[in-house]
């Protein structure tokens, strides 16, 4: 139990939600099935694949990301949740730091 609590803390989830609470009626059946498969298997994590969810505001992307992250944690897999803006800022910072290191080498 302590490991799961640590995994939950390290995931940086803004709140906890599951797939069972998601209203999937507006999704195509094949997309809902794909999301369920992702939540039941962590093979994609072992292959170092990421999950990016795109769509307009208010359709449940955050809920789905949190639910799949929680499903992975239930399977004892470490995950990290990033809101899109935070991920972009992190990538920009890494790019700036890499450019600075490249300049210092020359």
> Is the per-residue pLDDT at 93 higher than 70?
yes
Check residue 99 and give its pLDDT: 83
Check residue 10 and give its pLDDT: 95
pLDDT band at 5 (very low <50, low <70, confident <90, very high): very high
Domain positions in the chain are 2-81
Q: Are 74 and 91 in contact (CB under 8 A)?
A: no
Enter the tokens of residue 106.
């020359």
Q: How confident is the model over 75-87, as pLDDT tens digits? A: 999 999 988 889 8
Q: What is the C-alpha separation between 47 and 52, in angstroms, rounded?
A: 15
Check residue 1 and give its pLDDT: 73
Check residue 106 and give its pLDDT: 63
Alpha-carbon distance values, 79 to 4, 7, 29, 84 (Å): 11, 7, 26, 15
Check residue 72 and give its pLDDT: 94
Mean pLDDT calculated for residue range 45-72: 91
User: Model-level pTM?
Assistant: 0.80
């Amino acid at each position: 139990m302590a490991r799961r609590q640590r995994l939950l803390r390290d995931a940086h989830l803004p709140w906890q939600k599951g797939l069972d609470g998601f209203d999937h009626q507006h999704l195509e059946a094949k997309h809902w099935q794909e999301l369920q498969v992702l939540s039941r298997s962590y093979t994609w994590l072992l292959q170092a694949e990421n999950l990016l969810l795109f769509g307009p505001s208010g359709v449940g992307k955050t809920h789905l990301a949190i639910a799949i992250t929680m499903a992975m944690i239930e399977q004892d897999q470490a995950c990290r949740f990033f809101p899109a803006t935070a991920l972009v800022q992190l990538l920009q910072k890494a790019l700036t730091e890499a450019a600075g290191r490249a300049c210092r080498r020359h």
